[in-house]
Amino acid sequence: MKTFSRRNFFRNSAITALGMASLPASVKAMATDYKRTVKIGIIGTGNRGTSLLRNLLLINDVEIAAVCDLFQVRVEDAANICAKAGKKKPAIYCKDENTWTEMLDKEKQLDAVIIATYWEYHAPIGLYAMNKGIVAAIEVPAALTIDEAWSLIDTSEKTKVPFMMLENWSFRQDNLALLNMKRLGMLGEIVHCHCAHSHDCIDHWFFDSKTGVQRWPAKYLLEYNRDQYPTHSVGPVLSWMDINCGDVFTEIYSTASASKGINAYMKRKFGEDHPNAKIQWRQGDIVTSTLKTKMGKTLVINYDMQLPRPYANRWMLQGTMGIYDEEKKSIYLVDKSPEYHEWEPWQPYEEKYNHKFWAQKSSGSHGGVDYVMLKQFVDALREKKPLPLDIYDSVVMSAIVELSGISIAKNAPVPFPDFTRGKWAFKKPYFALDEAIVG
């Protein structure tokens, strides 16, 4: 299968668009139907990187050209997964923590790189990739600091290389159906939203469940007190609230509870003498952030990852004509809901306003959400279209990490940077447009 060069991708896009305008319709159809193999590299082949790899292998005309990790067993496993799927084995890179630079230097035909490493490497690898002309798709969060966020934007704008954070919850079936309804005006003018990442991660992500030994994310709980993981909760909210496309965050005020959950878990599971039971952790158990927008909307975000509880995102969207509550799986709409001021089930609405991304039953991880996200990403690369999520939305979601920590430390609201540099005022909504529903 013939491949296309990433080096000519962006330069040729404008030329192609001009030339296509004068071609007969039959020739245009042939050109747009032409299949191209998209070559992708993966940096970080642990649990998340391998999961993304498996989803990419479900998409036609995708070649995993190279894989890179700190551990030999991981890259070999990743290469073998490709081979077992009937695909060409990718090149393997595994020497030290800087081997990713070698991969990006040598693999000159990569169209994109998936970055699923430890958090502190996300922005540096993304910056390096864009400077090489390679599209970067970064796992969450895309940046840990405001300086990193601005560097990503400046580099993407300078190089003209697109960039996307892989925020999969933006692509959930329920969230996209609600987006369709919002765009139809069914909730009226949006006024307020709530969201949360409520996920007890103590016994599997922050610490080893058998020994209580710290895993790599635990160091952030020692060093910081902030919303460590805001993007899953905030991802779908941006398009519901038209952030960066007609509105913009102006300030954030965050508060944190005491840190009790980690010590209580360690004592309960491993006893009073376990080392991690004695540590004074900086990270509060619950972080509550309130954000204001230029157009008068408000948003409340909860970080809730250290206390025992079932998983929930607690999305709630409220407008002048109705309210949606994800945790209740319910909705109420003025003049539409059958009972005055009574909730009705959400599921019929999800089915009626189902987004085109979910027109067919999806397979893959997270109930098919990861496949839907990656399919849109690959299709955008192949068809030379804008990426599903742009760099401005990616950076806004990530900026909440450091900004919430600054606000907690100051016990005061702090300004939220306008990463669009004023473009929000005239930038039109772009994410997941569904012409079949919205028109």
CATH number at residue 52: 3.40.50.720
Check whether residue 147 and residue 176 sit in a common domain.
no
Q: Provide mean pLDDT across the span 296-319.
A: 98
**What is the distance between the alpha carbons of residues 412 and 15, in angstroms, rounded to a whole number?**
51
Check whether residue 155 and residue 269 sit in a common domain.
no
> Residues with Cβ < 8 Å from 379, sequence gap 6 or more?
385
**What is the distance between the alpha carbons of residues 121 and 144, in angstroms, rounded to a whole number?**
10
Check whether residue 130 and residue 221 sit in a common domain.
no
**What is the distance between the alpha carbons of residues 335 and 332, in angstroms, rounded to a whole number?**
9
Residues 82-112 pLDDT 10s: 999 999 999 999 999 999 999 999 999 999 9
User: Are β-strands 316-319 and 190-198 bridged in parallel, bridged antiparallel, or unpaired?
Assistant: antiparallel
**What is the distance between the alpha carbons of residues 238 and 182, in angstroms, rounded to a whole number?**
12
Q: What is the DSSP string of 110-145?
A: -SEEEE-S-HHHHHHHHHHHHHTT-EEEEPSPS-SS
Check whether residue 125 and residue 243 sit in a common domain.
no
Q: How confident is the model at residue 350 (pLDDT cuts 50, 70, 90)?
A: very high
pTM: 0.91
Mean pLDDT of the chain, nearest integer? 92
Check whether residue 407 and residue 422 sit in a common domain.
yes
Check whether residue 231 and residue 292 sit in a common domain.
yes
Q: How confident is the model at residue 332 (pLDDT cuts 50, 70, 90)?
A: very high
- Identity (one letter) of the amino acid at 254? S
Domain that holds residue 296: 170-358+387-438
Q: How many Cβ atoms are within 10 Å of 384's Cβ, its own excluded?
A: 15
Lowest-pLDDT range of 1-10, 286-295, 368-377, 418-427: 1-10
pLDDT value at residue 362: 79
SS3 20: helix
CB half-sphere exposure, 123, CA atoms < 13 A: 21
Answer yes or no: is 16 within a domain: yes
CB half-sphere exposure, 249, CA atoms < 13 A: 27
Q: How confident is the model at residue 26 (pLDDT cuts 50, 70, 90)?
A: very low
Lowest-pLDDT range of 4-18, 301-315, 415-429: 4-18
Check whether residue 85 and residue 226 sit in a common domain.
no
Number of domains in the chain: 2
Answer yes or no: is 179 within a domain: yes
SS3 113: strand
Check whether residue 152 and residue 36 sit in a common domain.
yes
Q: Provide mean pLDDT across the span 364-372.
A: 92
> 158 near 265, Cβ under 8 Å?
no
Check whether residue 311 and residue 180 sit in a common domain.
yes
Answer yes or no: is 317 within a domain: yes
